[in-house]
Amino acid sequence: MYKADYHTHSRFSFDGKEEIDAMCRAAIKAGLDEIAVTDHMDIFTDLPYGEGKLFDDGQESRYTTDTADLARQLAAAKEKYAGRLVVTAGIELGQPQVNPDQARQFLEDFQPEFVIGSVHNMEKDLDVYYYDFTDIDLTALYDHYLDWLLELARTGDFDVMGHLTYPLRYAFERRGMRMDTAPFEEKFRALFRILIERGKGIELNVSGLFRPMRETMPPLYVLKLYKSCGGEIITIGSDAHDAVNIGAYQDEARDMLAAAGFKAITLYRKRQPRFVDL
């Protein structure tokens, strides 16, 4: 059984803290065969990639800035752990559709081996993490979020789409709000048609299992829907921002994928998908 965690963050992410070497040691301890380091590179509407942005409330968002050092450390880890752990140099590219030129330039400069395409920030470049869910119509918000995912699917350069139900994590953590995803079936189907036609996939993000919501992103219903649409490309990611969660819930994730009808997980080599049996 080949175990791979395809969504992790090091100290090069604005919200990460671990050295890449420590992450590799944790991955080996967790019994992983492979780890993809996918630090954040969120794209803003009006800034060169890698710059921080100061919001009205004084919150400053900083994203991966020293990509040269990141690349050096990833290369060193590949060499150091060769034969014990495959280290894949990835990136989590946030909402590239808002500034396609900057997103394109970043990918040309960094040349990652694997790219997660995500949406964190919507209007005014504000991350959903900072939303006040007190007076928000969650159904309307999530419908709007799916529109952003659809645009990302149509135009973005990425390999798999990350955490499809991202706003639901924070709606629950802030206000205890849960929402059924079944009413969005037609939008999910439209999203999956685009992804499949473009040769792209989704991830099973298990981070919700070690957070208060206790639910994966996306949940099993959406995984089954993706498979029924013909989806095959799928990765497992912990979304770990510290070493202790690297490789978390690998067995549970595999059980979910099997329940949804999948026979394999996806790995990437130079941005080309490969499949290994569950």
pLDDT tens across 231-252, in order? 999 999 999 999 999 999 999 9
Q: CB-based contacts of 60: which residues, under 8 Å, 6+ apart?
A: 52, 53, 54
pLDDT tens across 200-236, in order? 999 999 999 998 889 999 999 999 999 999 999 999 9
Q: CB-based contacts of 25: which residues, under 8 Å, 6+ apart?
A: 243
Confidence at residue 50, expressed as pLDDT on a 0 to 100 scale: 73
Q: What secondary structure, in 3-state letters, does the chain show?
A: CCCEEEEECCCCCCCCCCCHHHHHHHHHHCCCCEEEEEEEEECCCCCCCCCCEECCCCCEECCCCCHHHHHHHHHHHHHHCCCCCEEEEEEEEECHHHCHHHHHHHHHHHCCCEEEEECCECHHHCEHHHCCHHHCCHHHHHHHHHHHHHHHHHHCCCCEECCCCHHHHHHHHHHCCCCCCHHHHHHHHHHHHHHHHCCCEEEEECHHHHCCCCCCECCHHHHHHHHHCCCCCEEEECCECCHHHCCCCHHHHHHHHHHHCCCEEEEEECCEEEEEEC
Q: Work out the number of other CB atoms within 10 angstroms of the CB of residue 31.
A: 10
Distance CA(112)–CA(87), nearest Å, equals: 12
Residue with tokens 């009808």: 261
Distance CA(36)–CA(99), nearest Å, equals: 25
* Band (66; pLDDT cuts 50, 70, 90): confident
Confidence at residue 249, expressed as pLDDT on a 0 to 100 scale: 98
What does the chain come to in residues? 278
Residue 120 · residue 127 · CB < 8 Å: yes
* Band (58; pLDDT cuts 50, 70, 90): low
Please give the model's pTM, rounded to 2 decimal places: 0.96
Share of the chain above pLDDT 90, in %: 87
Task: Identify the residue with better confidence: 126 or 199.
Answer: 199
Distance CA(246)–CA(249), nearest Å, equals: 9
138 residue type, one letter: L
Distance CA(76)–CA(238), nearest Å, equals: 23
pLDDT at 59 over 80: no
Q: How far is CA 220 from CA 234, 242, 277, in A?
A: 13, 26, 19
Confidence at residue 57, expressed as pLDDT on a 0 to 100 scale: 60
pLDDT at 4 over 80: yes
Q: Work out the number of other CB atoms within 10 angstroms of the CB of residue 269.
A: 11
- Angle at Cα 156 formed by Cα 20 and Cα 259, nearest 5°? 70
The token duo for 158 is 């990425």
